[in-house]
Structure 1
Amino acid sequence: MTKLGIMTDENTTSQQTQPTEAATEAAAETATDTDAQQQDQGAQSAAESAAPVDFEPLTATYERLRHSTDPAELSEFARRPLPDRADQAAFSRATALLEAVAGNPHTPVADRVFLADTMPFPNVLVKLSEDPEPSVRQAVAANGDDKNWLVGRLTKDPVPAVRDTALKNKRTSWKMRLEGAQDPTADAETLDFLGVLGTESEEGAPAVLSSMVRRAVALNPNTSEAMLAKLANDPSAEVRHAVESRR
């Protein structure tokens, strides 16, 4: 009886111990899950803290810059270095916003000229080509990254200095150059430039097209005597005949 009692006590103790061990394991698992959840929450909080708090959608920023009346803000954005092209999203965003800055009349003229001089982006240059300030349009006309249709538009600008600058841009088509050489308001300096195309400059230019331009220069009433003397010895007979017709 005594032995049986002892065994019964041992079994009871064992049964009491087993639930305790199971509870311990469950508690340990619960603690592990809790730690994991806390770590996840901590990582999420860190990510949220790292995100820029002043970020706003592209359209919102565009409209804000387009209507801004703060020259300092606009100037800072105009002069801000562009992101690396490898970061395509940031680069595209920055160039899109420059269009808003370029088209805002509150952007200082010096900054609009800077953009017209340095930007290769058609969306920005188109905005600046319509600028009311002639010095800005002239800077666009001189930009070597212009599309030929944009330079062609500026060869028709109402301001002679803008037209002349556009005619000297290598992006200008031969059709526009010919029309410029025929323009009775073209100045002697521009005609001097057009009068040597295909001979002293752009020697690889199409012979027929360049000689048509030089012939038009020879017939233009604003062409200088020095230029006419040079064209009198032009390799193209048509150009030489045009000079002779003026004598």
Structure 2
Amino acid sequence: MGSGLDGRSVIVTGAGSGIGRATALAFAAEGARIVVADLNAEGARAVAEEVEKAGGTAVAVVGDLSDQAVADEVVRTAVERFGGVDVLVNNAGIMDRMSALADVSDAEWERVIRVNLTAPFLLTRAVLPHMLRAGGGAIVNTASEAGLRGSAAGAAYTASKHGVVGLTKSLAVMYRKQGIRANAIAPGGTRTSLALDVEQGAHGPTTLGPYLANMGKLAGPEEQAAAIVFLASPSASNVNGVILPVDDAWAAV
């Protein structure tokens, strides 16, 4: 049996590498048409080409997703090329420096919140009119273990991912009667290229270190992608407002 995603229009952000790349490829394997959105032009175009070479359909859009003009371009591309937006995957994200709150600079805070929380807000706001006109859609956000606890990252990243959790749940409640589902995955440790620039000996990393021993095994990005595709698919038609840990039981510790 198929997944019900054949021919669907799917936007995946942060799709130039890691979980986003794996997600774009997984949707394409189900017959979906993909907008590959990423700040990294080389990565975005390479993934779009990878999809096309495998017989799928994809287009790359490059830019800073926390810029409303770029968010609008991403959505406009999906509508013009594929006729609408059936699925939005807000996956793009960056790490902080594991900084304790007293050590977070304005620049660190603003950059992490802008990329991890403001960008999903802007993209979701831009796709909602199209999903509402179509009578439904699915939104899947990439939260984090840091959105479930206070000991998986620094203050900025933790706050941003708690914000993603709240955004997801608010969407689910506000738009369920209009046929729009909103869910999120909460990845644990995952093998990606996400950069971690930690100041050794600082209060944040020193305090958090012992808690990270509960992380469990690292997941492959394909394992996170499989969960995203499920949540976006008709198989999850009554799954709404869920934050799904994909973390080898880290959330259960």
Q: Greater share of strand residues, 1 or 2?
A: 2
Q: Greater share of helix residues, 1 or 2?
A: 1
User: How high is the TM-score relative to the length of structure 2?
Assistant: 0.26
Which structure has the larger Rg?
1
User: How high is the TM-score relative to the length of structure 1?
Assistant: 0.27
